[in-house]
Amino acid sequence: MTDSRTRRAKTKNRVELLSDSAPWEGREIDEFVFFIAVERGLSTAYQLSVRQTLDALMKWMQAGKRPLDDLGTDELSEFLTARKAEGLEASSLRICAVHLKIFFRWLAGKGRLPMDPAEPLHSPRPEKTLPETLHAVECARLLESIDTGEFLGSRDRAMLEFFYSSGLRLFELCGARLENLDLQEKFIRVTGKGNKTRIVPIGAVACEALFHYLAVERPALVKRRTSSHIFLSVRGGALSPDRVREIVKERAAKAGMEQNMYPHLLRHSFATHLLEGGADLRVIQELLGHADISTTQIYTHVDQQRLKSIHKSFHPRG
């Protein structure tokens, strides 16, 4: 316990020393990021996201010569409007608004500001857009174009077959481990959002591809410090989300697919094809790991759009 407190005190002192040379607003940002890291235990990725928002706010303030003490709700709304003009989508703007709310609530709670200017701030409404999907024929084209005889071909084929068969999120796929995989029973145990664990079945074709990769190619990628992650890089480490995105784009390009390809497209396609095949929406919700059925219901709209398109194309008066 003493060692833990000592390390924490040293880290805090280090942050405060770094902050001494920063502008007042910069010191506040440093302290707040330290607070959400240590007191709230939020992830490094979330800390970085918050800092990016607050750094952008500070630059905007400096450009307009606006002191932090004079910021009100109108000024924060202007900042979000400026971010929108820079090209930020509604979903990103909503995240920015959340960052502002928790930052200024913390400042007001510490007595650094007389009031919380972000409390009445309205978050931008999310745009209702339907997810993109691939046709089943396009999925087959992508997967079957991968030559398992070439270097890393077995890994990439197994990974994309697994992705499309299970509908995992990208971070779930990257974090998938051998001890949670059962190829005989054809399922994997994954930990998703909110640290919730679920069992996801894997199709026969994906299981065959995984078995081949694990038997033939993965052993050659293992290094002395390799962990139990299923999908490995050439250096023996777990594949990063960015590298998986690159692989999907590279494989799609080799397959001659011109549309914008990204990993989540396979997750969307997984859900849509299940729905088209008659799967119950509650089952799809469970497989995707959605906490709320309303999140899953967007795929019913995708299916309706498909039916309208077919009607328009083939009905004589469509």
- Catalytic positions, written as ranges: 169, 193, 264, 267, 290, 299
CA distance 167 to 186: 14
Q: pLDDT category, 32, cuts 50, 70, 90? A: very high
Contact 177, 230 (CB under 8 A): yes
Between 72 and 229, the higher pLDDT residue: 229
pLDDT in tens, 250-301: 999 999 998 889 999 999 999 999 988 888 889 999 999 998 888 888 887 7
Backbone dihedral angles phi then psi of residue 177, each to the nearest 5 degrees: -125, 155
Q: pLDDT category, 303, cuts 50, 70, 90? A: low
Contact 127, 90 (CB under 8 A): yes
CATH class of 2-109: mainly alpha
The pLDDT assigned to 88 comes to 82
pLDDT above 70 for 20? no
The pLDDT assigned to 218 comes to 97
Listing from the earlier edge strand, what are the strands of the sheet with 187-191?
Answer: 181-182, 187-191, 197-201
The pLDDT assigned to 15 comes to 35
Name the CATH code of domain 136-314 (choices 1.10.3660.10, 1.10.443.10, 3.30.1380.10, 1.10.3720.10): 1.10.443.10
Domain-wise residue ranges, the chain: 2-109, 136-314
CA atoms within 13 A on the CB side of 123: 16
What are the DSSP E strand ranges found in the chain? 181-182, 187-191, 197-201
